Amino acid sequence: MKSQKPTGSQQNRIGQLANSTSSPGLDDKDLQIIAALQINGRANYAELATGIDLSQAAIRLRVNRLLESGVLEIVAITDPLSIGFTVQAMIGLTVDGDIEAISDEIGTREYAVYVVLTAGRFDLLVEVLCADNDHLLEVMADLRALDGVSSLEAHTYLRLTKQTYAWGIPPQRST
């Protein structure tokens, strides 16, 4: 499949995103690369070089550095419904035990796609993908059985109306 070049408005947005922040260890060119790849993760080095005004070799070096440092990860994003996961849910957990140990344990579970320590009503939020409602019941039973989990509440998704991975670069904040 041929990769898409950013449109003129996307190219302007890439520049705005890159110029709107000062991230430690990242310069404007790094931020432009990140913003461009958030719009089109399949862009090749030549396309990136043209839009960012660097050589292909410089783009390749920078992308490799961003990948190796963990700042950037390029992955295929799938639609869970199209590959057999018919139930998605966010499960809020209240814990009495070591929250980090419980979080780490849940993070090893295949069904857990997102685990977050939170402030508020729940101590942890766990996003899960399940094949069906019976699978969700098994997941909930597994979570309840963990030492330190005192309660949980599942919120099943009826419809996902927005999901994005192109959140850009955070704006610069003055303190």
pLDDT digits (tens, 9 = 90+) for 127-147: 999 999 999 999 999 999 999
Q: What is the CATH number of domain 80-156?
A: 3.30.70.920
Q: Where do the structural domains in the chain lie, given as residue ranges?
A: 8-68, 80-156
- Of 1.20.120, 3.30.160, 1.10.3210, 1.10.10, the CATH number of 8-68 is 1.10.10
Contact 148, 95 (CB under 8 A): yes
How many CA atoms are closer than 13 Å to the CA of 111, on its beta-carbon side? 23
Per-position pLDDT tens, the chain of length 175:
344 444 444 444 444 444 444 455 888 899 899 989 988 889 999 999 998 989 999 999 999 999 999 999 888 877 787 788 899 999 999 999 899 999 999 999 999 999 999 999 999 999 999 999 999 999 999 999 999 999 999 999 998 888 877 766 666 656 5
pLDDT in tens, 58-75: 999 999 999 999 999 888
Please name the helix (run of DSSP H) or strand (run of DSSP E) that holds residue 131, with its range, or none. none
pTM (predicted TM-score): 0.68
